Amino acid sequence: MDTHLLLSNLTNPTLLFFVLGIIATAVKSDLEIPPTTVKFISLYLLFSIGFKGGQELAHSPFNAEILYSLGFGLLLSALIPLYTFFVLKRKLSVADAGAVAAAYGSVSAVTFVAAVSFLEAQQLHFDGHMVAVMALMEAPAIIVGVMLLRHYEADDSAAAPRLGPLVQHAFTNGSVLMVLGSLVIGLIADTKQADGIKPFTTDIFKGFLAIFLLEMGMVTARRFTAFLRYGRFVTAFAVLVPLLNGCVVAIVSHGVTENVGNRFIFAILAASASYIAVPAAMRLAAPKADPGLYLPMALGVTFPLNITLGMPLYFALVQYT
């Protein structure tokens, strides 16, 4: 791994604000960002990513690579929960294993946003269709997770939720709907009119991301302590499995696209874990699963791992393979 690249990422202002959030919680500061502000910023980030992706897609010819990329993303989202479920089931209950597997098969939109910022710092480009890949990777993980739960859960009452409403929820979830809707709007919007809102979609993006990561740092610190009682197994899983997924995909994605930015995005999507859409779905599908397990794993361990050490590692792999 390039040491200079690692140090550059660790001294990125947006990441340092994340660290500040952790410190604020650790010292019991009264620093607080109002929930309505956090929600607005999160919607803004998704809007900006989706709209810019749609604009890029509007100026890109539709080709086989787009279809291959969409198919590859869907395949990853189905395979990752499939294999992780059996690893987790050795130590966890079926409900907990299914919920955690679904979370790690799905993606984190916030990690995706941080990855986009990382690429911009390297002055590298990724194609607009990768935004669609990210949004479409939510549903397969939920479907596979619920199917595994139904098959292995002895208590029939746990299998009551139907797949239809869960899949619908995956696509109508606010974060997914915002990024997909913005993608479509960016795709069909007039170019000259779209340039009129460019200062809003581009110029202030990193500032909002820094404030959002400050909040994420505070949330991470609060939730990390909640799952320490689960011991070393879940901590090792939350560290090693994302790194394995990200590194493998960084290498094999060369067969899908030669674009370094696209390959990096694929790696970060494979390495990330959902802590918004999947937990909401698992409340219905796996009421016995403990949110105090899968939420802190995704947000308290995997998220900071990816934005500190993961991104420079995956980027080095896509550059040299």
Query: Would you give the DSSP letter of residue 108?
Result: -
Q: What span, in angstroms and rounded, lies between the C-alpha atoms of 238 and 301?
A: 6
Q: Phi, psi at residue 283, to the nearest 5°? A: -60, -30
Which residues lie below 8 Å from residue 248, measured CB to CB, with a gap of 6+? 270
Task: Determine how many CB atoms are found less than 10 A away from the CB of residue 157.
Answer: 8
Residue 156, pLDDT score: 47
Identify whether the C-beta of residue 66 lies closer than 8 Å to the C-beta of residue 131.
no
Identify whether the C-beta of residue 209 lies closer than 8 Å to the C-beta of residue 114.
yes
Q: Give the CATH number of the domain where residue 62 resides.
A: 1.20.1530.20
Identify whether the C-beta of residue 193 lies closer than 8 Å to the C-beta of residue 259.
no
Residue 5, pLDDT score: 61
Structure tokens at 192: 């000259």
What helix, strand, coil percent values describe the chain, rounded to 5? 80, 0, 20
In this prediction the pTM is 0.81
Greatest alpha-carbon pair distance for the chain in Å reads 59
Dump pLDDT digits (tens) for 280-292.
677 777 788 887 7
Residue type, 87: V
* Range(s) of the domain holding residue 275: 3-320
Taking CA atoms, 299 is separated from 93, 104, 190, 276, 304, in Å, by 21, 11, 38, 10, 7
Query: Among all chains, which residue has been given the structure tokens 């690579």?
Result: 65
Query: Would you give the DSSP letter of residue 158?
Result: G
Q: What span, in angstroms and rounded, lies between the C-alpha atoms of 297 and 300?
A: 6
Q: What span, in angstroms and rounded, lies between the C-alpha atoms of 90 and 101?
A: 13
Residue 3, pLDDT score: 62
Q: What span, in angstroms and rounded, lies between the C-alpha atoms of 275 and 307?
A: 15
Q: Name the residue among 292, 210, 269 with its Cα closest to residue 79.
A: 269
Chain centroid to Cα 35, Å, comes to 21
CA atoms within 13 Å, Cβ hemisphere of 79 = 11
Dump pLDDT digits (tens) for 100-159.
999 999 998 889 988 998 998 888 988 888 988 888 887 788 888 888 887 787 554 444
Structural domains of the chain, count: 1
Q: What span, in angstroms and rounded, lies between the C-alpha atoms of 105 and 115?
A: 18
CA atoms within 13 Å, Cβ hemisphere of 180 = 14
Q: What span, in angstroms and rounded, lies between the C-alpha atoms of 178 and 269?
A: 18
- Mean pLDDT, consecutive 10-residue stretches, the chain (321 aa), reads 62 83 91 90 84 80 88 95 95 91 91 90 88 84 83 58 64 72 87 83 84 85 72 91 97 94 96 82 77 84 91 93 84
Q: Name the residue among 112, 123, 126, 114 with its Cα closest to residue 13.
A: 114
Identify whether the C-beta of residue 175 lies closer than 8 Å to the C-beta of residue 46.
yes
DSSP string, 281-302: HHHHH-TTS-HHHHHHIIIIII
DSSP string, 67-89: HHHHHHHHHHHHHHHHHHHHHHT
